[in-house]
Amino acid sequence: MSTTTVPPHVRLANDIAVQFHHHTPNRAATEIAEHIRSYWEKRMKEALLAHIDAGGAGLDELAVRAAKLLRP
Amino acid sequence: MSLLKEPDYGTPAREGAATVELTIDGMAVTVPPGTSVMRAAAQAGAAVPKLCATDSLEAFGSCRLCVVEIDGARGTPASCTTPVAPGMVVRTQTERVGRLRRGIMELYISDHPLDCLTCSANGDCELQDMAGVTGLREVRYGSGVDAGANHLDAPKDTSNPYFDFDASKCIVCSRCVRACDEVQGTLALTIDGRGFDSTVAAGAGVPFMESDCVSCGACVQACPTATLQEKSVVELGMPTRSVLTTCAYCGVGCSFKAELRGDELVRMVPYKDGGANEGHSCVKGRFAFGYASHPDRVLAPMVRDSIADEWREVSWEDAIGFTARRLREIQAEHGTGSIGAITSSRTTNEEVYVVQKMVRAVFGNNNVDTCARVCHSPTGYGLKQTFGTSAGTQDFKSVANADVILVIGANPTDGHPVFASRMKRRLRQGAKLIVVDPRRIDLVRSPHIEAAHHLQLAPGTNVAVVNAFAHVVVTEELVDREFVADRCEGFAEWTEFIARPEHSPEAVEEITGVPAGELRAAARLYATGGNAAIYYGLGVTEHSQGSTMVMGMANLAMATGNIGRDGVGVNPLRGQNNVQGSCDMGSFPHELPGYRHVADDDVRGIYEHLWGVDLRDEPGLRIPNMFDAAVDGSFRALFVHGEDIAQSDPNTQHVHAALAALDLLVVQDLFVNETAKFAHVLLPGTSFLEKDGTFTNAERRINRVRPVMAPSTGKHEWQIICEISQAMGYPMHYESAAQIMDEIALTTPTFAGVSFAHLDKVGSVQWPCNEAAPDGTPIMHKDGFVRGKGRFVETVYVPTRERSTRKFPLILTTGRILTQYNVGAQTRRTANVAWHPEDLLELHPHDAEVRGIRDGDMVVLSSRVGRTTLRAVLSDRMPVGVCYTTFHHPVTGANVITTENSDWATNCPEYKVTAVQVALTPEQASIHEKPAERPVTATERART
């Protein structure tokens, strides 16, 4: 029996990002970032940004784009 | 209060203005048209004797005890079946009708056991009352065994665990049969035979327990004698006092009279003036309250240093001191954000409020979440995005004015049975029903009800289906243009999106499995059939696109103008008694009470000023985030208030790993539940019978929960929270639960008009209740949406990542059944186990056959995250490829199977879609492999 090995912040960010694929990249990134800003706890945001800093493996491109908007 | 007996007017009230004037016994009476003479007389204070009439049932006219004289009318008409007429002159007490009534009573009594003094209904028997009222002094036909042919030896049916049926005391008034038909809508009872041989029968002459009876208690409630009587009354005697309170099971929130003898609860009787239930009940609320006094109850605090240690009972002072000290130590070592709490949807608003206050003001973070996370959090998100507030739009009564009822992902007859009875009544009157559900739930076809359309979609394709509904509405020009233009925004963009060919029923048929023609017909019916109302449950929310689906339904309702009036709306059927309230009270990590974001400086300022602390402006951890953070070591202590997350939350292995990783787990509960096995502190909780406060039901109705008895733990739960807060260095003190509600009202605009005094005066109110709506708001968004304009949202269908595979070819969906509730902690400790002693796996016969599984076999159910063993039941109400189970029994642990997948917006778990495999257990397989035993033939016997 196995559970996913994808870190939760990556899985959750991807889950959000895929819902906005129908928008233009800029709008999608804005909406994804707004969602994360509104609902994610600080350490999760930090983990996401750290994951991107480490290469962002497995992360949806729109999530990466959105994460840039989360940086101070 | 003393025993509360509501007045019985004999026949139901009629709606409308009181315009018909008549005279009864010389008194002028004015009532609405259609009112019976019996009811008008009762309202005038001239109650007419009756036996077969009661005001929860339509008039029947069988007992004839209610005959009256009416000037100008022939004979002596029955007042129950005679409607009032202008200028009518009625006399209810004349020598002639008195003589007739005594004659009728003589006949009844001649075939009735004369054991009043020892009868369980002594003092609560309408037959006994009527004998007195009619002045019966002799029975000329003899009585008892001297009366010739009689029914005095008729057998007693004691098969039901909660009530007896004593046919010897039956007067065949049909009230029980009619209650089962009209109130409950199950039609399990009938009158068997004719004339003297007429008897009440449960189904085809089987005992009650073997019949279709659902033990709602409506028949017991309606019975005028001791024929149908609660076993508890038989055993304990008649109650002597009542306390009005609210049921603590599902989100319907039924009002009950808790009836006691001294401090002993004898029975729970549904309250006629209860706004949610209007005198009806289900098997759980009516009968399954025994858990509150179960010997398993934990009544003293317990502490241990390690979960490997034995529990040791300690004083409250020690338990609270230990908890406070450890929480502060952990914060000192691991940071302010290393601790958090989970509020309970089973506790009162006041208890929830103080828990979230403790987290925000004392813990100093926003790490508070609620069990609504795993059920209706997508409702909160979706309805707030589209309508502007996180709540259903209607009151329950609204369904009586619906012409089309669209039930999506809900099974009301099991999950919300008292509301289901309202719905079924409307359906029997002719409203059309559309069911969207992978399973053929009972509503699809039941007595006198048949769904116009059952869209048996593949699990996980809700959004594709609702988009196809909307596509039909838009492309076939069924949009309510005026409503949309006046009330909504974003329509043009949404129309362009939804009209695309990929959303057509034909395009999605392959995905959803729903025939395009059937879906088109259902969409047309919804859009054009009159008032159309959506009712939905966890089959909508517990998906990876739960929030998207809620927004999709909101789009559909707005596009067709089905919002803002009676008979329409988008209505979540909430799972637990106070899911709505726990969300209202600021349990989510991003919201303060009243659904106001923590980043809102003005809102935070209200609480900072009142509480005297600075509050964090960033969201805290959600429950699944807490588990992840516990596993990674940054979250170290959790206070769990009245929830059994180790059993109810998905991916049990992950939950257990998280709980085991905590330095401190504090559990407050009635029992040593599955979560408590990982706890270091166990604080005993109070049952709903001991609580003082309010619950808010699925229709936003705030109901009083009144203490039926003193807390058996010695403290109210809100007091314990206050004491922990104080021990952590924050002064939190309230004199009473009422004072907590006053603070809620002071700080939350939608609750501004709510107080215990107001609730005690008016019974209940539906929020918003404030200066603008002092009597509450039964129907929301009447003249405008809470957010101003209703917002159309593009709802792109994104398939779940959970797919059936060669290894796991079936899809499992989970749910609950009528007699059990949630993790079963309460109902498993009642006689309800008679109906559902174990979790069962429902499987289509085809899926069973290819696996060699027979009905009743033990099977292994496995997914990519875990496996469990349970018994299989073959059922063609499951579609091929889909199986179903419940999660009521910890021994099964159905959430061992469910995964980490969740709703993208809220992280509500995707309980409804798990790829699984089912196989016989090795033991069961070996039984099957043995050659079937056959009788030895005569020839073989001769050879031996």
Q: What is the pLDDT of residues B905-914, one digit of tens each?
A: 999 999 999 9
Q: How far apart are CA B531 and CA B817, in angstroms?
A: 29
Beta-strand relationship, B858-863 and B914-920: antiparallel
Identify the pLDDT of residue B691: 97
Identify the pLDDT of residue B882: 97
Q: Which residues pair with B724 in a beta bridge?
A: none
Spell out the domains of chain B, with CATH numbers in brackets.
20-134 (3.10.20.740), 302-371+579-766 (3.40.50.740), 377-572 (3.40.228.10), 810-929 (2.40.40.20)
What percent of chain B shows pLDDT beyond 90? 91
3-state secondary structure B356-400: HHHHHHHHCCCCEEEHHHHCCHHHHHHHHHHCCCCCCCCCHHHHH
Identify the pLDDT of residue B193: 92
Identify the pLDDT of residue B934: 55
Q: Which two tokens stand for residue B553?
A: 């339904």
* Helix %, strand %, coil % of chain B (to 5): 35, 20, 45
Identify the pLDDT of residue B143: 67
Identify the pLDDT of residue B203: 84
Mean pLDDT within B504-522: 98
Q: How far apart are CA A14 and CA A64, in angstroms?
A: 9
Q: How far is B734 from chain A (nearest CA, A)?
A: 31
CA distances from B113 to B106, B225, B232 (A): 13, 11, 21
A21 contacts in chain B (CB < 8 Å): 796
Whether the CB-CB separation of A23 and B349 falls below 8 Å is answered with no
| B781-822 pLDDT per residue, tens | 999 999 999 999 999 999 999 999 999 999 999 988 999 998
Gap between the terminal Cα atoms of chain A: 41
**Is the pLDDT assigned to residue B147 strictly greater than 70?**
no
Of the residues B550, B623, B628, B867, the best mutation for testing chain A's interface (the one with the most A CB atoms within 10 Å of its CB) is B628
**ipTM field:** 0.96
**Is the pLDDT assigned to residue B57 strictly greater than 60?**
yes
Is the dihedral angle over the CA atoms A9, A12, A18, A20 positive or is it negative?
negative
B619 contacts in chain A (CB < 8 Å): 38-41
Task: Indicate the helix (H) or strand (E) that contains B316.
Answer: helix B316-334
Q: How confident is the model at residue B415 (pLDDT cuts 50, 70, 90)?
A: very high
**Is the pLDDT assigned to residue B144 strictly greater than 90?**
no
A50 C-beta neighbours (distance < 10 Å), count: 10
Which spans in B898-937 are helix H? 922-929
Of the residues B796, B802, B807, B862, the best mutation for testing chain A's interface (the one with the most A CB atoms within 10 Å of its CB) is B796
Mean pLDDT within B677-701: 97
B628 contacts in chain A (CB < 8 Å): 8
CA distances from B846 to A10, B482, B567 (A): 39, 50, 41
| B467-492 pLDDT per residue, tens | 999 999 999 999 999 999 999 999 99
> Which residue in B has a C-alpha nearest to residue A18's C-alpha?
B798
Identify the pLDDT of residue B204: 82
A43 contacts in chain B (CB < 8 Å): 337, 629, 634
Amino acid type, B75: G
* Helix %, strand %, coil % of chain A (to 5): 65, 0, 35
A32 contacts in chain B (CB < 8 Å): none
Mean pLDDT within B672-691: 96
Mean pLDDT within B410-433: 97
- Domain-by-domain residue ranges, chain A? 8-70
Which spans in B8-87 are helix H? 37-43
Q: How far apart are CA B393 and CA B790, in angstroms?
A: 13
Identify the pLDDT of residue B282: 98
Phi, psi dihedral angles at B784 (to 5 degrees)? 175, 155
Whether the CB-CB separation of B884 and B916 falls below 8 Å is answered with no
> Which residue in A has a C-alpha nearest to residue B619's C-alpha?
A41
Identify the pLDDT of residue B104: 96
Q: How far apart are CA B735 and CA B723, in angstroms?
A: 13
Identify the pLDDT of residue B717: 97
Q: How far apart are CA B659 and CA B677, in angstroms?
A: 9
Whether the CB-CB separation of B681 and B302 falls below 8 Å is answered with yes
Q: How far apart are CA B299 and CA B296, in angstroms?
A: 9
Q: Do A2 and B865 touch (CB under 8 A)?
A: yes
| B247-271 pLDDT per residue, tens | 999 999 999 999 999 999 999 999 9
Q: Do B337 and A41 touch (CB under 8 A)?
A: yes
Residues written for chain A: 72
Closest to B672 measured CA to CA, from B823, B821, B825: B825
Angle at B605 (CA atoms; ends B601, B609), nearest 5 degrees: 165
Task: Indicate the helix (H) or strand (E) that contains B552.
Answer: helix B546-559
A19 contacts in chain B (CB < 8 Å): 545, 548, 796, 798, 904-905
CA B430 distance to own-chain centroid: 24
Between B519 and B123, the higher pLDDT residue: B519
> Which residue in B has a C-alpha nearest to residue A22's C-alpha?
B796
Q: How far apart are CA B694 and CA B424, in angstroms?
A: 29
Task: Indicate the helix (H) or strand (E) that contains B914.
Answer: strand B914-920
**Is the pLDDT assigned to residue A3 strictly greater than 90?**
no
Q: Which residues pair with B812 in a beta bridge?
A: B883, B914
From the list A1, A19, A41, which residue is nearest B625 (CB)? A41
CA B726 distance to own-chain centroid: 36
Q: How far is A21 from chain B (nearest CA, A)?
A: 9
Among the ranges given (B124-133, B418-427, B796-805, B892-901), the one the predictor scored with the smallest mean pLDDT = B892-901
Query: How many angstroms separate the most distant Cα atoms in chain A?
Result: 41
Q: Do B866 and A1 touch (CB under 8 A)?
A: yes
DSSP string, B120-141: TTTTS-HHHHHHHHTT----TT
Q: How far apart are CA B821 and CA B287, in angstroms?
A: 13
Whether the CB-CB separation of B660 and B218 falls below 8 Å is answered with no
Q: How far apart are CA B175 and CA B63, in angstroms?
A: 11
Beta-strand relationship, B637-641 and B664-669: parallel
Mean pLDDT within B18-45: 97
Q: How far apart are CA B733 and CA B739, in angstroms?
A: 10
Q: How far apart are CA A58 and CA B649, in angstroms?
A: 27
Q: Which long-range contacts (CB under 8 A, 24 or more apart) does B773-780 make?
A: B776/B701, B777/B700, B778/B394, B778/B395, B778/B397, B778/B398, B778/B699, B779/B393, B779/B394, B779/B395, B779/B398, B779/B564, B779/B565, B779/B566, B779/B569, B780/B387, B780/B389, B780/B391, B780/B393, B780/B394, B780/B564, B780/B700
Q: How far apart are CA B40 and CA B23, in angstroms?
A: 9
Phi, psi dihedral angles at B571 (to 5 degrees)? -125, 105
Angle between helices A61-70 and A25-39 (to 10 degrees): 60
DSSP string, B650-717: S-HHHHHHHHHH-SEEEEEESS--TGGGG-SEEEEP--TTT--EEEE-TT-EEEEE--SS--TTSS-H
Identify the pLDDT of residue A2: 46
B634 contacts in chain A (CB < 8 Å): 43
Q: Which two tokens stand for residue A31?
A: 């909406």
**Is the pLDDT assigned to residue B690 strictly greater than 60?**
yes
Q: How far apart are CA B568 and CA B394, in angstroms?
A: 8
SS3 B238: coil
Q: Do B865 and A1 touch (CB under 8 A)?
A: yes
Is the dihedral angle over the CA atoms B309, B313, B314, B319 positive or is it negative?
positive
Q: How confident is the model at residue B58 (pLDDT cuts 50, 70, 90)?
A: very high
Rg of chain B over Cα atoms, rounded to whole angstroms, equals 29
Identify the pLDDT of residue B941: 61
Whether the CB-CB separation of B41 and B92 falls below 8 Å is answered with yes
Task: Indicate the helix (H) or strand (E) that contains B246.
Answer: strand B241-246
Q: How far apart are CA B882 and CA B880, in angstroms?
A: 6
Which spans in B387-490 are helix H? 412-415, 417-428, 462-475, 481-487
Q: Which two tokens stand for residue B295?
A: 């010997």
